[in-house]
């Protein structure tokens, strides 16, 4: 049974990681919570994968900071919100023909915006 549990956690962690990476470019997928889920799943199933994720030069820093309670850097919040609103506005104005879907998408984006704004912000004078 332990082997099955480990396999499922690695599978869920990998799926969450893939969705989190897609969330970087797709506005409706929440990147940070999915990466944190990946870190949790890997932490419970594979020390090697967990360490790889934490040591990743693009993702690891943000996961470590968030887990340490330091929050998300201000620059990252601004970038996330800018990309979220630009891509979603384009989708609502140009791509989506149905008013109900436009309204639903706008409500989701407003909710995600409030969620991101309410996350603890790490203000660092020298961000690298």
User: Domain count of the chain?
Assistant: 2
CA separation for the pair 32, 50 (Å, rounded): 15
Give the mean model confidence (pLDDT) for residues 91-104. 88
Give the mean model confidence (pLDDT) for residues 99-104. 90
105 and 46 fall within a common domain:
no
**128 pLDDT above the threshold of 60:** no
Look up the pTM and report it.
0.58
The closest of 16, 68, 71 to 42, measured between CA atoms, is 16
Query: pLDDT tens digits, residue range 64-77?
Result: 777 777 777 777 77
Q: What is the DSSP letter of 25?
A: T
Last residue of a domain, one of 32, 50, 70: 70
CA separation for the pair 59, 39 (Å, rounded): 10
Last residue of a domain, one of 40, 70, 100: 70
85 and 54 fall within a common domain:
no
The closest of 29, 50, 48 to 40, measured between CA atoms, is 50
64 and 87 fall within a common domain:
no
74 against 17, higher pLDDT: 17
Average pLDDT, the chain: 83
CA separation for the pair 76, 65 (Å, rounded): 12
59 and 92 fall within a common domain:
no
Domain encompassing residue 3 = 1-70
The SS3 call for residue 19 is: helix
- For residue 69, the model assigns a pLDDT of 76
82 and 115 fall within a common domain:
yes
Residues 80 and 119 sit within 8 Å (Cβ to Cβ) = no
């Amino acid at each position: 049974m332990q082997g099955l549990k480990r396999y499922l956690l690695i599978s869920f962690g990998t799926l969450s990681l893939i969705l989190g990476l897609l969330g970087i470019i797709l506005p409706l997928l929440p990147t940070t919570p999915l990466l944190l889920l990946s870190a949790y799943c890997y932490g419970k199933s594979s020390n090697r994968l967990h360490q790889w994720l934490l040591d990743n030069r693009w993702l690891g820093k943000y996961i470590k900071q968030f887990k340490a309670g330091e929050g998300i850097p201000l620059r990252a919040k601004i970038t996330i919100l800018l990309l979220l609103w630009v891509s979603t506005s384009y989708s609502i104005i140009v791509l989506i023909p149905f008013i109900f879907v436009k309204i639903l998408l706008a409500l989701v984006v407003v909710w995600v915006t409030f969620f991101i704004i309410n996350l603890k912000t790490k203000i660092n004078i020298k961000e690298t």
